[in-house]
Amino acid sequence: MANTYGFSSSAPISLNKRFSPSIRLNGPVFCSYVRISKRVFCSSIEGAEKHAAAGVSVSETKVARLGNRGCKLVGCGSALPKLQISNDDLSKYVETSDEWISTRTGIRKRRVLSGEEGLVGLATEAAKKALEMANVDPDDIDLVLMCTSTPEDLFGSAPQVQRALGCTRSPLAYDITAACSGFLLGLVSAACHVRGGGFQNVLVIGADALSRFVDWTDRGTCILFGDAAGAVVVQACDSEDDSMFAFDLHSDGDGARHLNASLTPDETDTAIGSNGAVTGFPPRRPSYSCINMNGKEVFRFAVRCVPQSIEAALQKAGLNSSDIDWLLLHQEADIGGRVNDEWVFGEYIVMAVVVWLMEENWVANQRIIDAVATRLEVPSEHVLSNLANYGNTSAASIPLALDEAVRSGKVQPGHVIATSGFGAGLTWGSAIIKWG
């Protein structure tokens, strides 16, 4: 079914066969994926009632849905900056040490853009590797989705990546801004375009350069972030081969105060004066602040919402945790928690002892990953994590870890992956997918 938060079948699915989505009412909105000039058609309940009053049934519409289309992941790639910054390197800039950082976050090093390197170049490199693995020519791309919160142009970087790839047919390209959840939202968008829009090949890129928005004098945040890019190719297929089983997506704008990089006016900007005729005009040139994070609140949010979201996605897919081959979570390191506190996962409680340092509590996402794995009964050897090597790379973290796992031979065609992203917005979500 197509519902507010994702795709699911009308009955529990097998891992070898799925049925195509159908219409389902779910809350205030429903979406039906129909072929109308290759666009997705969405209606509110009020709109459906108007059709009913006119004697027109949605189920009786003569417009044929793309009910026989599925989508699958057929290629992946990643790219990293050349400059590697170790914990020892950071200790020369802030009061810290390798032991201090690694025991409290799990991070030992990260990559940072430098010199003439740029985010577009990094994204393009990752995309080329994904296309090569998928055996898809750039001119066969129908859509480029650039999931990033740090574009190199205010109006977006996706068209620049499209140009760098050498796409001559001018396929649609646009950015998706959702920070650490961006890549998951890109997967959902790709699925919608394939299933409801008739697209054949969609390139989904997760790329961020958070190093440009980090206060490198603040050890509370500078130790956590790195730069990277990852990409996947989502390709149309027959419904029985569909490998994107279900999504569960949410947002809560009230949580934005806990994690943000807000736009603020530059008080030193005096380039344009005022004659006093209009108060507050012309406006001062704004700039983005460094990343601000309330680690305790982000931690509480993550440990509460992530397992609930994964379980919801599994339920929609008609699967159990025992069907999961790999657990892949966003690789995030946060400040948070409480001494000898409990991590509450819905109705279940997982006890965890966290470390205390000075006036702060520091808990890396590795602890969240371990706790979620315990809740879902996924063995530690089936948890994909590269946090130690790259830190939090935002929208790039999931495709980066996926690409490494595929190329190393860990993830094989047919393996089922439960993946979840969470971060600024606040936004969070999960997806149950099958590789290949």
Just list the catalytic residues.
180, 330, 392
Strand runs (DSSP E) across 132-279, as ranges? 143-147, 172-176, 201-209, 227-238, 244-251, 259-260, 263-265
Interaxial angle between packed helices 158-165 and 119-134, expressed in degrees from 0 to 180 and rounded to the nearest 10: 50
Torsion sign, CA atoms 403, 406, 409, 411: positive
Length of the chain: 436
235 CB burial (10 A radius; 0-12, 13-18, 19+)? buried
Please calculate the CA angle 151-153-157 and round it to the nearest 5 degrees.
55
- Among residues 331, 352, 334, 340, the alpha carbon closest in space to that of 401 is found at 331
Q: What is the DSSP letter of 23?
A: B
Q: How far apart are CA 50 and CA 63, in angstroms?
A: 18
Q: What residue type is assigned to position 354 of the chain? A: V
Q: Are 72 and 237 in contact (CB under 8 A)?
A: yes
Question: Which residues, other chains included, contact 26 with Cβ-Cβ below 8 Å and sequence gap of 6+?
Answer: 3, 4, 5
Compute how many other C-beta atoms are within 10 angstroms of the C-beta atom of residue 267. 7
Q: Cα separation of 257 and 424, whole Å?
A: 9
Q: Is 238 exposed, middle or buried (0-12, 13-18, 19+ CB in 10 A)?
A: exposed
Based on DSSP, count helices (H) and strands (E) in the chain, helices before strands: 10, 23
Distance CA 106, CA 342 (A): 20
Query: Which three-class secondary structure state does DSSP give residue 41?
Result: strand
